[in-house]
Amino acid sequence: MLLEYGAESRLIEQLASRLGRALGCTSIEISLIPSAIVLTTLIGESSVTTTRRAHEQPINMSIVHQIVSICILAEQNPRDIVLIERKIENIHANHYPKWLVIPAIGLSCAAFSHLHGADWAGFWITFLASAVGMAVRMELSSRKYSLLIVFAFTAFICTLVASLSLYHGLSDTANIVLSSSVLLLVPGFPYINAMLDAFKGYISMGWGRWAQATLLTLMTSLGIMLAIGLLGVKGW
């Protein structure tokens, strides 16, 4: 779950080791790759090795925090396996309501556009474009579409809506509106995790996460280019 929901590799290794020792294991050895985890548990002279696939999930620090809390609880209640199993079964994602997330994303992108010099018409068009884009992204994600498809289609929709600034002189800063409306798709967290993993010695994980973030960036660029080509816009 830690790997699926975006925890950095060092944290995954440390929590697995701490939780294993708290539950009575002699030692825990762990090997990570971007799509799976290999865990070896040593108890006395016996050992068990298991491999688990990591399924694609959206980044959710709420779940990571809950697992950290369970690890601390296990250290405070050594060998209480029943308690820990019950806590793990109750792990759940804390989602913010859509009616709050969508306008918040719209305002954040619009604020960036204003900071970069967009006029007030451009500000509100950016708000509309990014809010619509976020609604589309959340809807596609709820339908379990591939993250690459979600990013490309969301970028396409954001650019289409932002192109309103080009017509009838609605905004004199259309280039800023077009670029600011897709800021919600910047994969900052995967890039940060990739850098942290690489610096801390998890080279394969760093490269894997960097490749995933780069693919998301490329798909976002593809969606933008498709929209610009459809509209016949000559650059930003």
Please tell me whether residue 170 adopts helix, strand or coil conformation. Answer: coil
Q: Final residue of a domain: which of 89, 121, 146?
A: 89
Question: What are 49-88's pLDDT values in tens digits?
Answer: 999 898 878 888 889 999 999 999 998 988 888 888 899 8
Q: Domain count of the chain?
A: 2
The CA distance from 168 to 175, in Å, is: 15
Please tell me whether residue 73 adopts helix, strand or coil conformation. Answer: helix
In a domain, 1, yes or no: no
Question: What are 168-224's pLDDT values in tens digits?
Answer: 778 888 999 999 999 999 999 889 999 999 999 899 899 999 999 999 999 999 999
pTM: 0.87
Q: Which residue is associated with the tokens 């509106």?
A: 177
Between β-strands 46-53 and 36-43, what pairing exists: parallel, antiparallel or unpaired? antiparallel
The CA distance from 145 to 137, in Å, is: 10
Do 108 and 181 fall into the same domain?
A: yes
**Domain residue limits at 38:** 9-89
Angle in degrees, CA 47, 51, 54, rounded to 5 = 145
30 compared with 169, residue with greater pLDDT:
30
Do 44 and 150 fall into the same domain?
A: no
Q: Is there a contact between 49 and 40 (Cβ–Cβ < 8 Å)? A: yes
Assigned token pair, 216: 């998301």
Do 55 and 78 fall into the same domain?
A: yes
In a domain, 135, yes or no: yes
